[in-house]
Structure 1
Amino acid sequence: MIKALVIGDPIEHSLSPVMHNEAFKHTGISGIYEKQRVKSEDLEVFINKLKESNYAGCNVTIPHKVSILPFLDEVDEEAREIGAVNTVVNNGGKLIGYNTDGKGFLLSLKDKISKPLSELNVLLIGAGGAARSICYALKKENPKQLAIANRSEGRLQSLLNDLKDERIEGLSLQRAEKVLERFDVLINTTNAGMYPEMDSVPLKLAHLKEEAVVCDIVYNPLVTKWLEEAKARGAVTDNGVSMLVMQGAMAFEKWTGIFPDTNKMKQIVIEQLRR
């Protein structure tokens, strides 16, 4: 039996067990996926126990994605570049860290766009951990233009410095709103609009380009106020469920060697959220 789990603090809200156990069911693999609250001060103890366990690995969520790095035996090059890990593989007591967040988002985005990213102008909103992962994945696709807008200029500049790519443009939120018609794809990586602050929006859409693709990594609520407005303005929209499922599917593949049916995983997550 393959065993895996997700760790974080808090962890009660995590939907990872729902979708991973569904993946085990539909692939016919004997396996179980659990969740465990691990406090920051207990992380090293947990890692040492994981090394000696029969668990295939774990997913890592807030607040451990960065702090887990020193405790791992090996870190994948992309995860090291990003500076965060969301997936750990236990290879016979050797723990290897990966980051599937950005690649997972990219898989979900490619389902929505009708042209290659090399022909599209992309605006990413936010400069936190999720933005960092998605930026690293995006820049490898060489979008026609990639811009990042953020409220805090200091945090934005820090991300731009780390990305080391002069082609990436930094914008204030106010400037991004004024030039919004330039962009074919908008990606919100902030928690604006997330339950319970559901009235907040990351960016005003007055100048949204018709038929733009608008993505929001928030998945609770399933459709944010921002996505509702984007759809009303003629945009193609996608919520955070797609990224959640795709990054999870990539982790599942690392533990089992099989890429699961993401439609089944997405369906069970949406059912759970609607409850």
Structure 2
Amino acid sequence: MRIDGYTRLAAVVAKPIKHSISPFIHNHAFQATQVNGAYVAWEIDEKDLAETVQNIKRYDMFGINLSMPYKQAVIPYLDEVTPAARLIGAVNTVVYQEGRLLGYNTDGQGFFRSLPSFSIQGQTMLILGAGGAGMAIIAEAALRQAKQIVIFTRTASLDRVKKAVQLIADETGVKISVYPLEDESLLQKKLLETDLLVNSTSLGMDGQSLPLSSSLALRKETLVADVIYQPFETPFLGWAKQQGNQTVNGLGMLLYQAASAFELWTGKAMPTKEIWQLLEERYR
């Protein structure tokens, strides 16, 4: 990688963020595609967010990625957000283009790009949890015309989630239902009707927790995905594998959401196969 007077910056902005592997992904992509760019991690306080966003213009940057807690807070500082980002209510990628700051959300795109030979169009998705990653996946599934989206979340979150997904349902015409995760008999019934099962909760990052009861059963045709990538195989994916189901972890979502951002910034395709091999070696 060369650094000179023509090098353009990109960054990921969050707090905390020093642990991020996004610099590893993007700097490898800059080098592999011979784009004169560099990617860094900026850990900032919320009071500095507005100035940080203005620095994109000041320093003629490609743009920035955002992680928690700034995916929603950044929106007022942007000139425009895409329909998908508006539906989700969160931005994870800002692109500096012709003097304007454009907000995108590539999380949902990244998730569906990571699924092997699977199209959500006309299919039923059941998702556990509806936080930031979950809402991005829900909105993208609706935009891709899923037949039905079924959400199971904690009772304490039911009203918030129902309100949040109503706009998505109204704008896309896709049926979205929200149920309490504590209702295991209903969850079991819906599990046997779904084509894609997704865990978007953080349960499993400790290598021990499950987001649902291990006594529940799946049908063999259901594709099972987790947004978590460390550990490489979560207890949730292990539970699904024991039943003979195909599984996908969250590493692909991380890579492909980054790839979408890289393409928006540079107009070039990220060498995802090459980077995937490096990530797999690092996290398996």
Q: What TM-score comes out, normalization by structure 1 length?
A: 0.91
Q: Counterpart of 2:197 in 1: which secondary structure?
A: strand
Note if contact 2:210-2:235 (Cα within 8 Å) is conserved in structure 1.
Answer: yes
Q: Do residues 168 (structure 1) and 176 (structure 2) align? A: yes
Structure-to-structure mapping, 1:1-275, within 5 angstroms = 1-109=7-115, 111-113=116-118, 116-151=119-154, 152-165=157-170, 167-173=175-181, 174=184, 175-194=186-205, 197-205=206-214, 206-274=216-284
State how far apart, in whole Å, the 2-side matches of 1:76 and 1:162 are.
15
State how far apart, in whole Å, the 2-side matches of 1:259 and 1:218 are.
25
- Segment drifting more, 131-140 vs 260-269: 260-269
State how far apart, in whole Å, the 1-side matches of 2:162 and 2:56 are.
37
Note if contact 2:147-2:175 (Cα within 8 Å) is conserved in structure 1.
Answer: no
Number of residue pairs the alignment of both structures matches: 269
Q: Counterpart of 1:215 in 2: which secondary structure?
A: strand
Q: What TM-score comes out, normalization by structure 2 length?
A: 0.89
Q: Which runs of 5+ in 1 are unaligned?
A: none
- Segment drifting more, 99-108 vs 259-268: 259-268
- Identical columns (%): 39
Note if contact 1:74-1:96 (Cα within 8 Å) is conserved in structure 2.
Answer: yes
Note if contact 1:55-1:90 (Cα within 8 Å) is conserved in structure 2.
Answer: yes
RMSD: 1.7
* Stretches of 4+ aligned residues off by more than 6 angstroms: none
Q: Which runs of 5+ in 2 are unaligned?
A: 1-6
Note if contact 2:66-2:91 (Cα within 8 Å) is conserved in structure 1.
Answer: yes
State how far apart, in whole Å, the 2-side matches of 1:118 and 1:47 are.
36
Q: Counterpart of 2:39 in 1: which secondary structure?
A: strand
Note if contact 2:169-2:175 (Cα within 8 Å) is conserved in structure 1.
Answer: no
Note if contact 1:73-1:96 (Cα within 8 Å) is conserved in structure 2.
Answer: yes
Deviation, structure 1 residue 234: 0.6
- Segment drifting more, 147-156 vs 11-20: 147-156
